[in-house]
Amino acid sequence: MFYLSNITVSEFIIIGFPTLYSYNALLFVCLLTVYILTIAGNVTMFILVKVDSRLHSPMYIFISALSFLEIFYMAVTIPKMLANLLMENKNISVRNCLFQTYFFHALGSCESYLLTAMAYDRFLAICHPLHYSSVMTSTMIIKLVGSCFTLGFLCPLTEVIMISRLSFCNSEMEHIFCDIPPLISLACGDTSINILADFVTNCFVIIVTFSLVMASYVRIIIDIMKVNTSAGRMMAFSTCVSHLSVVLIFFTCILFMYVRLTKSYSLYFDRAVSIFYSVVTPILNPIIYSFRNQEIRLVVKYRLCQRKNVQI
């Protein structure tokens, strides 16, 4: 997939946070705990939607797709981060680094598109309820989810291939995992075309999807405010506030990280932000999006009671 003929180093050293090396054991325990909880939460959510017919509505199918995506999104970076916390050798081969970069951005792009599709689902449900069931059919859901994953895996392909053709003069990557900005900073010579390609791709993936999501919610809020009763307004708000929370957390971080025409970074601050959107956000999704949902809680209680009765 990637061309490596011009590369002058065979591996990169992922520096991470040098000032925190003495706390590596504690950081390992914390990160492993978060990783296990995130995987458990997302797997539980995915299985619940699959096995319980009460959750076979479009909204929950999208949530299950998001949970499925988050499992692999974290698996791209967290295991290597855990290994780096335990070992003095924090090296990664150039090829593996490029693959990690590609899949990290591909899955991140998939999430951007999926959040946009979920906003469209809420827009139809609240603003056009009479047409919702005829538009959001099973076939439409499959097409939307399939399109999100297809576009997501296509978007970063060109820029990662362009980066793979660069010559790298420095092997010390001052980041916590392989990513496009730190890779560009290690390259020799003029990288302006790579920075421009990265900027254009990110504008298309991030700004366009974020704008579509916010436009949907502006229209949703306008329609909700037209509801006569306060109870009706609260019910309508409750169906979309969780999704909007996830959107704002996710897009705020990636807008800061990737939509800028420079390769000069505040390195420690960038690494801290990277931890937030690669580690913290995935664990918040099943909490904010799913387990705060009353219908999800009822299904979990029903399943637990059913299992207890079977054991008795």
User: pLDDT value at position 144?
Assistant: 95
Specify the pLDDT at position 75: 93
Cα–Cα distance for residue pair 172/12, rounded to 1 Å: 6
Structure confidence at residue 189 (pLDDT): 81
pLDDT tens for the 312 residues of the chain, in order = 555 555 567 889 998 888 788 888 999 999 999 999 999 989 988 888 888 777 788 888 998 999 999 999 999 999 999 999 988 888 999 999 999 999 999 999 999 999 999 999 989 988 888 889 899 999 999 999 999 999 999 999 999 999 998 888 888 898 889 999 889 888 888 888 988 888 888 888 899 999 999 999 889 888 888 777 776 667 667 667 777 777 888 888 888 778 765 554 556 677 778 887 888 888 877 777 665 566 776 776 766 676 655 555
Task: Assign residue 16 a region (left: φ > 0; alpha: ψ between -120 and 50; beta: otherwise).
Answer: left
Do residues 95 and 59 make contact, with C-beta atoms less than 8 angstroms apart?
Answer: no
Please give the pLDDT value at position 82: 93
| Residue 275: per-residue pLDDT | 83
What kind and span of H or E run contains 217? Answer: helix 208-225
- The pLDDT value recorded for residue 72 is 93
Confidence (pLDDT) at 103: 96
What amino acid occupies position 17?
A: F
User: d(Cα 203, Cα 199) in Å, to the nearest integer?
Assistant: 6
From CA 265, how far away is CA 271, in angstroms rounded? 10
Domain-wise residue ranges, the chain: 11-311
DSSP string, 15-30: ---GGGGGGHHHHHHH
Sign of the dihedral through C-alpha 206, 215, 60, 31: positive
What's the CA gap between 198 and 204, in Å, rounded? 10
Q: Distances in Å between the alpha carbon of 295 and those of 164, 171, 299?
A: 47, 50, 6
Q: For residues 93 and 10, is the Cβ–Cβ distance under 8 A?
A: yes
As its CATH architecture, domain 11-311 has: Up-down Bundle (1.20)
Instruction: Output the pLDDT for position 278.
Output: 85
Q: Residue 124 CB: number of other CB atoms within 10 A?
A: 19
**pLDDT at site 110:** 95
Give dist(CA 283, CA 23) in Å, integer: 22
What is the per-residue pLDDT for 222?
86
In the 8-state DSSP scheme, what is residue 55?
A: G
Closest CA to 203 of 166, 159, 268: 159
Which residues are bridge partners to 14 per DSSP?
Answer: 173
> pLDDT at position 3, please?
54
Say if residues 258 and 301 touch (Cβ distance below 8 Å). no
d(CA 15, CA 7): 20
Handedness of CA 190, 196, 202, 205 (dihedral sign): negative
